[in-house]
Amino acid sequence: MLIVAAFYIITNFVVIGVVDQVTLSSSSAPLTVAASNVLSFSPTLSIIGGLVLTVGALASILGADESGSIGTSRLAFAMSLDGLLPKAFSRLQRSYRTPYVCVIVLCATAFVASITDSLSALINSSVFLLSFAYLATCVSAFLMERRHANNRRMRTQVVVIPILGVVFSLFLMSQVNWQQILTSAVLFAIGVPIYRFFAPKKEQSELKNAFLSRDAILERAYHQGEIFLANVVRHIKWRYYKAKKMQRAWKTDGEQ
């Protein structure tokens, strides 16, 4: 988190330092403008630098959107197993074992949202909804504190940190205009009946146990080890196990 935070702070510091406020406030691609300004001594390098940063920004956005969609679909899948979302969300695709219903619903929702309002409005609505979720989490921490009333260290953490979280959450929510707050409230209201009427309200114990069983976890870990650099690391680990005469936790069907 410190590395990511430092990267973003330095990037914004450089952009603010090399681009004047008037240009920056009206620009839709500040990184491209910043690169052009830094390399302004050479028209050719200025064009190339701006193009490289534009392509890099697009790749970063695509990667962030993909990871967000896939990660959120797994969150919805886990919530379905816990009985907090409709049972259909726990359906897995046969070949790749991905929660395809979650992916379809989330991508369709994101597409509809993207064509109904501007990007800045969507970001503001997202900030409001996320801040509301953080606010609810911080408030719930006070209720959880009652279970650990005898733990003084726990009491300090559960009082101080959530209070700061509540303050910052309320501050972020106050920065959103009323129109976007209303839009967010409508979206939130749509989600309530989905939870209230369609969620099974109980854990799907059979699916959850199958997904979280030792064999299932080891199998997923094994197949993840076949991906790119993880494959190299896995073989190094296996050689270490062999040298130490340790038994591997998972083997394929063809291995003895």
The 10s digit of each residue's pLDDT in 58-107 is 888 888 888 888 888 888 888 888 877 888 888 888 888 889 999 998 88
Q: DSSP string of 58-112?
A: HHHHHHHHHHHHHHHHHHHHHHHHTTSS-GGGG---TTT---HHHHHHHHHHHHH
Q: Which tokens in the block code for residue 58?
A: 């697009």
Q: What percent of the chain has pLDDT over 90?
A: 5
Predicted pLDDT of residue 254? 46
* Mean pLDDT computed over 215-235: 72
- Report CA-CA distances (Å) from 175 to 120, 127, 128: 13, 9, 9
Spatial contact of 124 and 110, defined as CB atoms under 8 Å apart: no
Spatial contact of 234 and 227, defined as CB atoms under 8 Å apart: no
Placement of tokens 């064509």 in the chain? 115
The 10s digit of each residue's pLDDT in 109-164 is 888 877 877 777 778 888 888 899 899 988 888 777 776 666 555 566 667 888 88
Cβ-based neighbours of 41, under 8 Å, separated by 6 or more = none
Residue 223 DSSP label:
H
Residue 42 DSSP label:
-
Residue 50 pLDDT > 90, yes or no? Answer: no
CA 129 to chain CA centroid, Å, is: 14
Predicted pLDDT of residue 171? 92
What does pTM read for this prediction?
0.60
Spatial contact of 222 and 231, defined as CB atoms under 8 Å apart: no
Task: Lowest mean pLDDT of 159-173, 216-230, 240-254, name the range.
Answer: 240-254
Predicted pLDDT of residue 158? 63
Domain ranges of the chain: 213-256
Cβ-based neighbours of 210, under 8 Å, separated by 6 or more = 216
**Most confident of the following: 98-102, 110-114, 180-184, 223-227:** 98-102
Q: At what angle do helices 205-212 and 214-224 cross, to 10 degrees?
A: 50
Q: Which residue has the higher pLDDT, 189 or 146?
A: 189
Cβ-based neighbours of 23, under 8 Å, separated by 6 or more = 33
Task: Lowest mean pLDDT of 159-163, 204-208, 250-254, name the range.
Answer: 250-254
Q: Which tokens in the block code for residue 245?
A: 């005469």
User: H helices of 115-250, where?
Assistant: 119-145, 152-174, 178-193, 205-212, 214-224, 228-243
Predicted pLDDT of residue 209? 73
